[in-house]
Amino acid sequence: MEIAGYPWFTEARSGLIAQIGRSGATQSEIAAALGTSKQAVQQLIDDLTALGAVARAVSRKDARFRIVRVTSKGAAAARAANAAKQAIHSEARERLGAQKFDAMFSALMDLMESEVESPSRRAGGSVLSD
């Protein structure tokens, strides 16, 4: 992402932006979707707002709520990240062959799904989150 001009676009920031729909989302909705605290989301939103990747606005439905929306800068970074991911997938598929790549990808998805369903009990959290 650094080469694409978005060195600030980290995995955590990408994950947050991915949870914001076209009409925006509240901080609580984003926190629930990410399975994390409102405080952690607040910090990410503050950072992304300072970078110009998201913006806050008063909800049209209820003035008590603030809606977070992705800006054109945030959308451009998300598109660049998706393009980079597709390039990585294409190169890996080419090098491994379609059958091996599909098997690897399927196994990784199974591993991540099982981690979500039954997190590791070892001290310090999951081996996937270290």
Distance CA 19, CA 70 (A): 10
Query: Splitting the chain (130 residues) into consecutive groups of 10 residues, what average pLDDT does each group show?
Result: 85 91 92 92 95 93 91 94 92 94 92 70 46
- The model's pLDDT over 29-45, given as tens digits with 9 standing for 90+, comes to 999 999 999 999 999 99
Whole-model pTM over 0.85: no
Extract the tokens encoding 113. Answer: 């799904």
- pLDDT score of 127: 47
**Would you list the domain boundaries of the chain?**
11-114
Q: Which CATH number applies to 11-114: 1.20.210.10, 1.10.10.10, 3.40.950.10, 1.10.260.40? A: 1.10.10.10
- pLDDT score of 118: 56
Sign of the C-alpha dihedral computed for residues 36, 29, 111 and 120 taken in this order: positive
In three state form, how does the secondary structure of 32-57 look? Answer: HHHCCCHHHHHHHHHHHHHHCCEEEE
